[in-house]
Amino acid sequence: MNPNVLLMTLVIALEPIPVLGGVLLLTSKNGRPKAVGFLLGWAAALAVIGIGIIVIGGDVSTSSGSTSSKASAALDIALGLAVAYVGFRTRAKARQGADQGTPGWMKRLDTMSAGAAFVLGAFLPPYLIAVAVGNDIVRENLSTRERVVAMGLYVVIGSIGILVPILVTVFRPNSSEALLAKWREWLQLNWQMVMFWLLLGIGAYLVIKGIIELAH
């Protein structure tokens, strides 16, 4: 996995909304099965994107200076601008006092079934960043086997933010409740700020990377 893909995958893993969603599910009644369903939905969505990349990647050539290479660079710029826009919208809502604390849909997690949590997880991945990851993997012109390995790592690493709290409840059952409560409190207070800086940073990174590639 090249550094560009690893960086963007870590941003997906650390995005605060799914992490907060997983923590909230774990602190609800019968939380672990629901959190596992949420994780599986999230991972399944990333895997579907990965399968598309594996299929498409074999038919695209992005050698330097080619039309496909220029289109790939332009896509990076467009995705970067879109991601930054979402970040600024998140920041604007925070400053206006909108959606303070927990997003409205998260307030219904206590009564959510594991199946519903799976569906929710499938809808939450940051698809703009996921497309940027796929764009970078396709650009590498890897073999089918190499793309499969890269996408496997992408799914696993991209799910770490939800997986870690679940593992805490498994391996530290006696102290997990207090630890999850601290994470929940911090995330509820800071998720908008974390989201803003993550999206602004990765958006700027994609725009700069795309401009440099277009110039070559």
pLDDT at 60 over 70: no
pLDDT, tens only, 73-120:
888 899 999 999 998 988 887 777 654 555 666 667 777 888 989 998
Q: 53: domain range?
A: 3-215
**Model pLDDT for residues 178-199, shown as the tens digit of each residue:** 999 999 889 888 888 889 999 9
Domain count for the chain, please give it: 1
Given a cut of 70, is residue 134 above it in pLDDT? yes
Dist. CA 30–CA 168, nearest whole Å: 15
- pLDDT of amino acid 66: 58
Q: pLDDT band at residue 208, thresholds of 50, 70 and 90?
A: very high
User: What is the reported pLDDT for 1?
Assistant: 67
Give pLDDT tens digits for 31-54.
899 999 999 999 999 888 877 776
What are 131's two structure tokens?
A: 């497309």
